[in-house]
């Protein structure tokens, strides 16, 4: 019966297609073909062309070349939509966010990547002091080890966001200025390396390669770790590994310091103390004594930590929030992406991949032996503290 129904449905659908085709052919002479709307190129934008002239003068570039590149950029409505701010009141969910990255496909890919680059990862860890697990975690979260590096032309994405950033965004002016700076860095990089800027593909924000470096990060932190005379974050896994390690070291990574410790909240903690702990967000601001005096409960090695802590909150939609005591190294991880959710996902993915290896390639861990952050219900009706 199932096959018979399938046959009837297929036959009917095929007949409908034939009828539609015949109707389309019979009316083709009387119904005009809709004109294709041409893409908007920034050669039509006086603002973009003025920027190109100014950029060329400041960077000592050929004005005709700069105008040609920016003029060839097309406005991408999809990029504008993707940059729209999230609706207010959208709940955050750490458990759901984590599940996107700590999952079998990414873990297996991470294990293959680590095993294929074991020596390079060990060298990067030795030279920069950055754990291999953190490097592996970043590359896995960013692009699933090179599988998803983006299919937007970088020139289109950057130019669209430089001159047509969504006006309803709360930081539209600052973000437009940021992307104009990134467009400038991108064109300067392409000119210095004698590469065609129209051939680069990346994310909708213009991030490039396996580590998804923005152009300014490529210029500042990307390195030639395979010593072949060029920096290639698209094809050289050694350059990718070395560049990520160099990035974290440049932002102040401290070898041997955990990224975070488990923390509980004292049930007797006052609302005022809770809000005081959350106020700095992910910026470490409290020594052990002041941290614990305000109701943060630490145990074991955390009590001997000589640096400062941040009470990092990870919301779980309608469930109680999760908390960790973030150190300066946790803050360093957030310099890659300004989000505590991102940082903890990177850390935990790297550690989960490392746990799959036959033999640990490093004795230096990123965080304490705590597979998941402690959870605790906050005091009654605290003021929520949004994570960037």
String of DSSP letters for 192-260: HTT--GGG-EE-TT--BTTTTB-HHHHHHH---TT-SSS--TTT-HHHHHHHHHHHHHHTT--TT--SE
Indicate the pTM of the whole model.
0.83
pLDDT of 247 > 60? The answer is yes
What six digits make up the tokens of 63?
A: 């004005």
- Which of the residues are catalytic? 142
Q: Among 221, 209, 276, which residue's Cα sits nearest to residue 249?
A: 221
The length of the chain in residues reads 388
How sure is the predictor about 367, in pLDDT bands with cuts at 50, 70 and 90?
low
pLDDT of 219 > 80? The answer is yes
Give the integer Cα–Cα distance in Å for 388 and 381. 21
Tens digit of each residue's pLDDT (9 = 90 or more) over 138-175: 999 999 999 999 999 999 999 999 999 999 999 999 99
How sure is the predictor about 23, in pLDDT bands with cuts at 50, 70 and 90?
very low
Give the integer Cα–Cα distance in Å for 233 and 211. 7
> Which domains are delineated in the chain?
46-85+148-223 (1.10.8.350), 255-340+357-388 (no CATH)
């Amino acid at each position: 019966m199932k096959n018979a129904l399938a046959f009837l449905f297929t036959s009917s659908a095929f007949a409908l297609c034939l009828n539609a085709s015949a109707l389309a052919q019979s009316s083709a002479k009387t119904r005009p073909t809709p004109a294709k709307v041409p893409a908007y190129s920034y050669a039509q934008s006086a603002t973009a062309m003025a920027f190109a002239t100014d950029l060329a003068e400041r960077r000592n570039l050929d004005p005709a070349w700069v105008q040609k590149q920016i003029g060839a950029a097309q406005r991408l409505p999809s990029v504008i939509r993707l940059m729209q701010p999230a609706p207010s009141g959208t709940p955050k969910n750490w458990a759901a966010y984590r599940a996107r990255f700590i999952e079998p496909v990414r873990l297996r890919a991470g294990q293959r990547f680590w095993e294929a680059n074991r020596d390079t990862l060990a060298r990067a860890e030795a030279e920069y002091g950055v754990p291999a697990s953190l490097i592996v975690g970043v590359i896995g979260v960013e692009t699933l080890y090179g599988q998803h590096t983006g299919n937007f032309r970088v020139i289109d994405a950057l130019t669209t966001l430089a001159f047509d950033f969504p006006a309803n965004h709360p930081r539209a002016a600052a973000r437009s200025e940021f992307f104009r700076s990134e467009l400038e860095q991108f064109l300067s990089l392409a000119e210095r390396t004698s590469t065609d800027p129209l051939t680069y593909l990346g994310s909708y924000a213009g991030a490039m390669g396996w580590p998804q470096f923005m152009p300014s990060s490529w210029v500042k932190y990307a390195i030639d770790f395979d010593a072949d005379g060029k920096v290639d974050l698209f094809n050289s896994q050694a350059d990718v590994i070395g560049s990520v390690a160099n990035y974290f070291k440049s932002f102040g990574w401290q070898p041997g310091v955990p990224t975070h410790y488990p923390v509980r909240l004292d049930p007797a903690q006052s609302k005022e103390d809770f809000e005081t702990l959350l106020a700095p967000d992910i910026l470490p601001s409290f020594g052990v004594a002041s941290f614990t005096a305000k109701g943060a409960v630490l145990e074991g090695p955390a009590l001997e930590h000589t640096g400062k802590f941040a009470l990092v909150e990870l919301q779980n939609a309608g469930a109680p929030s999760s908390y960790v005591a973030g150190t300066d190294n946790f803050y360093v991880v957030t310099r890659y992406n300004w989000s505590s959710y991102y940082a903890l996902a990177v850390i935990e993915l790297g550690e989960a991949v490392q746990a799959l290896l036959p033999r640990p390639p490093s004795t230096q861990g990123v965080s304490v032996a705590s597979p998941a952050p402690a959870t605790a219900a906050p005091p009654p009706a605290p003021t929520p503290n949004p994570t960037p």
